[in-house]
A and B are shown apart, each in its own frame.
Chain A
């Protein structure tokens, strides 16, 4: 995205396959305009989100991390998001003590039908990260560049 170089920040989204990923899809099908800073990683469930995914994302240079899953009680696997809620709440404290602003991390619940809500969450969170600006990075160890050849992922299109 050379056009947006410097204007975009790196936001990583961990989305559950059953609700929020569907919600993001619904937002797309509904053609709701959204900021493009968010890079989505699809997971089976928010219960799959190891809090260390979030820490790793931040240390590798993410400016914000968003985790989204099914509403509590609606989990496809019955209880995944209940566990996730506790873990992610504890994670906020760890980020805080590590010196990563708590505001850079957000978790929320968006169902597959809530395209409008998804648009709102993405817009609000992106605006919040832009207000905070780029995250602090360790001097001498810049953000980890992604070598697309090495990942084996083919660019879409």
Chain B
């Protein structure tokens, strides 16, 4: 397609100055995708972009600090880059950003559920329809129904900063009513139902820590408190209590930093809607401090600062 070709040309021109370029390529079936590390021009043939290519590539940047790296970036990923810059985890002059206008990111899990888990042989992307072929059958799915939760709160499809921008095609194609997100679902519950909701979901958690490993802002690497014996924040028992504790740790350690890229939820092999927790915290932070992470490189994250008079925080009675 024209925009992929344009992206190839842009990367090929810049490649001699770069150690590697982060992009996407197709995965083991037409639905899946995998990150592509481009080091030579021959790799460019495998490059692909589109609604199926969903990983947040910015997650690789902190570990590549010190090397000259190019990265293909959509709107939401660029917020991650801003946040990483804000925390001095990467240097701007070491990163070359190839911007693309996002066309929406498909939640593969939703598609697989819609086709009842049948092996997918072909996927065709229409204007706002996804036509999925499984052997004999074809399913026409509304794009809006199978997007990732983060797409429903999208703050902009084009990256907020870029060095090169693909001009061909832009804009998300999804139209129509938004299906309810996990957070909407939680909103409609009372406290006991919510507690039971998490108990049910956490019971399925296999403690693989994929959510943490995929998170672009979990930068403690081997020093994560989840694996520390002293302090012993979480123990080894296989209970919803310990698993929920870990999710609370993740949510609070990224509070005011999380850009809602949704990698935690995407990486979860059990499909646990853990993004909802972070979205709830972010909504509160927006309400209290009028702050959104990854929007402005010069601003200070709200939990790293304070005001002597907090107009938005009311004192409460113990009664």
Contacts and interface: CB of A to CB of B under 8 A. Distances in A.
A and B together in one complex: yes
Contact of A89 (B186, B192, B244, B313): B313
B195 interface: yes
B273 to A, nearest CB: 11
B60 interface: no
A146 to B, nearest CB: 14
Given A52-B249, A98-B248, A85 B194 contact: no
Chain B CB within 10 Å — which of A55, A73, A120, A140 has the most? A55
A125 B239 contact: no
B198 interface: yes
B234 to A, nearest CB: 9
Interface string A81-108: 0110111011111101111110000101
Contact of A141 (B194, B239, B302): B239
B319 interface: yes
Contact of A86 (B197, B277, B281, B310): B310
A72 interface: yes
A100 B313 CA distance: 20
Interface in A54-90: 55-56, 59-60, 66, 72-73, 79, 82-83, 85-87, 89-90
Contact of B277 (A51, A83, A98): A98
A90 B284 contact: yes
B285 A97 contact: no
User: Interface of chain B, helix or strand or loop or mixed?
Assistant: helix
B288 to A, nearest CB: 6
Interface string B186-212: 100101111111110000000000000
Interface in A26-69: 51-52, 55-56, 59-60, 66
B272 interface: no
Interface in B80-130: none
B219 interface: no
Given A90-B285, A94-B248, A82 B306 contact: yes
Interface string B275-302: 0110011011100110000000000001
A51 to B, nearest CB: 5
Given A59-B241, A79-B306, A86-B306, 20 more contacts: A52-B248, A55-B252, A86-B310, A87-B303, A89-B284, A94-B251, A94-B280, A96-B280, A98-B195, A98-B198, A99-B192, A99-B194, A124-B317, A124-B319, A125-B318, A127-B319, A136-B192, A136-B195, A136-B196, A141-B240
Interface of B: 186, 189, 191-199, 233, 237, 239-241, 244-245, 248-249, 251-252, 255-256, 276-277, 280-281, 283-285, 288-289, 302-303, 306-308, 310, 313, 315-319
Interface of A: 51-52, 55-56, 59-60, 66, 72-73, 79, 82-83, 85-87, 89-94, 96-101, 106, 108-109, 120-121, 124-125, 127-128, 136, 138-141
